[in-house]
């Protein structure tokens, strides 16, 4: 048992020396030694931790063990780029307004129109028979016959006036004619959309997008260090290690 304890202590001392010279962390088996990276930052070492090749300023009765101090980490926040800034084209639509227009439906034209003759009513007195004077037998005329001379027929010389008749007729006042008439043009009012401004495009800058994430970063690498331990009994064969 004594030899075994001596071998263990010798192995621990050998690893500590190799760590101090080459920066290696040693495993439980011999030969499993890997080169350790240099610490990323200055690490706060707890009281009682010693990193020398051998525990310095050790006093009689004190015990030290070579222990592995694990790496320390901390959580940091960081902004990461999600999408780069870019430019895009934005379409500005055309603008219209409602207007009313008076449009020609039919052109003006001319045509010939007949103007009929105009007549007026008139009355004319015309002579249908001329006047004359003639003898007529008058049997009923109370004539006194010559004395003691019987008369058979009485002839009277009668004056006949002319005979007139009123005739109604129409007299032309204005002769028929042809005149030119103008037919006016025809219009119609319609409602339509009028272009005010044509459609255009413009460039719009879209800023980059970021997101805040949390990540764990290593503050201090793991290392091997001497640390004082409490031993219940001073034996070289049994050592109780308390971190």
pLDDT in tens, 46-78: 665 666 678 878 788 888 888 898 999 999 999
Residue 48's CB is within 10 A of a number of other CB atoms, namely: 11
Read off the pLDDT of residues 219-237 as tens digits, 9 standing for 90 and up. Answer: 988 888 888 888 765 444 4
Q: How confident is the model at residue 34, as a pLDDT? A: 35
Rounded Cα gap, residues 6 and 12, in angstroms: 10
pLDDT at position 141: 58
Q: Which of 72, 8, 6 is nearest to 42 (CA)?
A: 72
- In angstroms, the CA 66 to CA 13 distance is 8
Please, how many CA atoms are within 13 Å of residue 188, restricted to the half-sphere of its CB? 6
Max intra-chain CA distance, the chain: 234
- State how far the Cα of 184 lies from the Cα of 174, in Å rounded to an integer: 28
Joined tokens for residue 55: 């525990």
Concatenated DSSP letters for 186-236? EEEEEEEEEEEE--EEEEEEEPPEEEEEEEEEEEE--EEEEEEE--SS--S
pLDDT-flagged residues of the chain (< 50): 1-8, 10-41, 234-243
Gap between the Cα atoms of 222 and 35, Å rounded: 12
Q: How far apart are CA 229 and CA 48, in angstroms?
A: 9
d(CA 15, CA 17): 5
**68: enclosing H helix or E strand:** strand 63-69
**Per-residue pLDDT, 49:** 64
């Amino acid at each position: 048992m004594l030899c075994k304890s001596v071998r263990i202590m010798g192995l621990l001392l050998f690893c500590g020396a190799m760590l101090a010279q080459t920066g290696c962390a040693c495993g439980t088996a011999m030969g499993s030694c890997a080169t350790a990276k240099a610490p990323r930052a200055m690490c706060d070492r707890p009281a009682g931790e010693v990193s020398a090749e051998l525990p310095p300023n050790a006093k009689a009765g004190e015990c030290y063990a070579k222990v592995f101090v694990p790496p320390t980490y901390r959580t940091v926040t960081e902004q990461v780029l999600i999408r780069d800034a870019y430019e895009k084209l934005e379409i500005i639509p055309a603008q219209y307004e409602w207007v009313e227009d008076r449009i020609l439906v039919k052109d003006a034209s001319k045509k010939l129109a007949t103007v009929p003759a105009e007549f007026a009513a008139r009355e004319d007195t015309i002579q249908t028979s001329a006047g004359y004077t003639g003898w007529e037998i008058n049997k009923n005329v109370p004539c006194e016959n010559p004395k003691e001379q019987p008369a058979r027929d009485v002839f009277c010389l009668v004056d006949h006036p002319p005979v007139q008749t009123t005739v109604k007729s129409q007299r032309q006042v204005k002769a028929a004619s042809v005149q030119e008439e103008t037919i006016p043009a025809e219009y119609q009012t319609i409602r339509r959309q009028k272009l005010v401004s044509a459609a255009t495009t413009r460039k719009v800058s879209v800023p980059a997008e970021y997101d805040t994430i949390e990540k764990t970063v290593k503050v201090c690498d793991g290392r091997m260090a001497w640390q004082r331990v409490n031993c219940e009994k001073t034996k070289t064969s049994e050592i109780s290690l308390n971190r």
